[in-house]
Chain A
Amino acid sequence: MSGWLAFLLPWEFSPLAAALALGAAVAFVRGARRVPPGQAVGVARRIGFFSGLALLYFVMQTHFDYLSQHMFYIHRLQHLVLHHAGPFLIALSQPQAVIARGLPARLHERVLTPAWRHPLVQGAYRVLQNWLVAPVLFVGLIYLWLTPEIHFYAMLSGPLYHVMNWSMLLDGLLFWFLMLDPRTREQGALIGLGPRIGLLLLTAVPQILIGADIALATHDLFNVYGVCGRAWTIDPLEDQQLGGLVTWIPAAMMHAVGTLVVLSHWMRSK
């Protein structure tokens, strides 16, 4: 098999990730065919949804995941996709209604809708999407997994590694669906458009700080990569500096773009 094809095979196959990606893609395509005339799903939304999904699949279910386990800056790129870029693109395309239409009716009506309306689920969702909890959780997870001692064990232990990546993905989806909701507070959004602009700008600051702190550190903070072996020969500090820059700059840029998106929703609502 050619190198590239082999690279695209899963490093550690996850039936859950594969089933979710495939299920979401099929439901979206079916749903897009079924929308009533006048509500057609535009090309931009389709591109947003599928590029987000493809990016997530690529970083989780190809040999990119192997590189992420053995190179700090590739790991930071993986988290940039899991926590920022992938969920951002998916939330931007607002696929909820389309996917709901594309799901088998029974699954939708008998399982998912009652589960979603369950008071426990609604209560947990309200708490997680609270204006204070959501940003703290978003930034807190980045700091948590980048605590050197915790990072060490997350890279050494298979189960903990998966907890880390799934927590970043789920939190990324929660956060960007909350932030990029096109509705105003009056129309049903959990947080108003104005306050969201403030939150997006505020949450960028701690990410810039931790990214800069890592990029400018003069000693090896994450020795687990040396301990377990890097994917190829690179100076550990260079690897760390690149990782710090990935944590710092593209992440902050995503927040700037997010701010512009919310601003455009806000202008439209006026």
Chain B
Amino acid sequence: MSRLRRAWLVALALLLASCGGGGPWQLKDIKGVVPDLAFNLTDDSGRRVSAADYRGRTVLLFFGYTNCPDVCPTTLVKLAAALKDLGPAAHGAQVLFVTVDPKRDTLEALHRYARAFGSHVTGLRGSAAELRELAKRYRISYSYGTPDASGNYDVTHSSAVFVFDAEGNARLLVMPDSGEKAIAHDLKLLLGARQG
């Protein structure tokens, strides 16, 4: 029992040391807390893709849907603005927008939507099972509201953007209240570290 307790304390201390204070980051540090980037989905041009296809780039993984009235457009606009701040360095970054509403979001709709937020954004779509697996891996959730008279419904979903480095390790979390400046600051560091 005492050994078990000690193990908890050590685990906790390590975690707090790696997550809490210190470090150059302005976003939330999730190194070692969240699993590496891994998925099997279809991109908005119809190609089957996995995490390996994005190795070497800083990936910003975000879950949403194209009919989303608030969180998704504001987040994507914020990410686009942060990437613009980075200038040419932004070419090393890739935003992956995974739809949590594959029923309504066709590949074409997803493609149009993603491009509207810039060339760094790619829409991804999966089968119900692929999406469920991905959500479970990152411990995120989505659920569908009751459709109104014309069949429209809201989707409750995660609002965070998971940031992965070029090797696919989870590094940072963009929170709903993270500012464009903080995002640009941290992405610059992450992209710079890759080149250096």
Contacts and interface: CB of A to CB of B under 8 A. Distances in A.
Most central of B30, B138, B139, B145 by chain A CB within 10 Å: B139
A136 interface: no
A127 B5 CA distance: 12
A228 B100 CA distance: 13
Contacts of A70: 141
B139 A69 contact: yes
How many chain A residues sit at the interface, stated as a range, is 20 to 34
A45 to B, nearest CB: 25
B167 interface: no
Interface string A90-123: 0000000000000000000000000000001101
A49 to B, nearest CB: 22
A229 B141 contact: yes
Majority SS at the chain A contact face: helix
Nearest to A158: B139
A227 B140 CA distance: 8
Interface string B142-158: 11010000000010111
A229 B34 contact: no
B141 A157 contact: no
B1 interface: yes
Nearest to B29: A153
A161 B35 CA distance: 14
A127 B154 contact: no
B15 A228 contact: no
B141 A128 contact: no
A5 B175 CA distance: 36
A266 B145 CA distance: 54
Nearest to A161: B139
B1 A231 contact: no
Interface string B63-96: 1000000000000000000000000000000000
Contacts of B156: 229-230, 232-233
Contacts of A170: 1, 4
B20 to A, nearest CB: 7
Nearest to A137: B5
Most central of A123, A227, A229 by chain B CB within 10 Å: A229
A149 B143 CA distance: 26
B157 A156 contact: no
Contacts of A167: 8
B60 to A, nearest CB: 15
Nearest to A128: B1
B154 A233 contact: yes
A227 B177 CA distance: 10
Contacts of A123: 2
A124 B6 CA distance: 11
Contacts of B157: 229
Given A229-B142, A233-B156, A157 B2 contact: no
A227 B15 contact: no
Interface string A152-188: 1101111111010001001000000000000000000
Interface of B: 1-2, 4-5, 8, 11-12, 15-16, 19-20, 28, 30, 33-35, 63, 138-143, 145, 154, 156-160, 173, 175-176
Given A127-B2, A233-B143, 17 more contacts: A124-B1, A125-B1, A150-B12, A153-B15, A153-B19, A156-B139, A158-B139, A160-B33, A161-B139, A163-B8, A163-B12, A170-B4, A227-B160, A228-B140, A229-B63, A229-B159, A231-B143
Interface of A: 69-70, 120-121, 123-125, 127-128, 149-150, 152-153, 155-161, 163, 167, 170, 223, 226-233
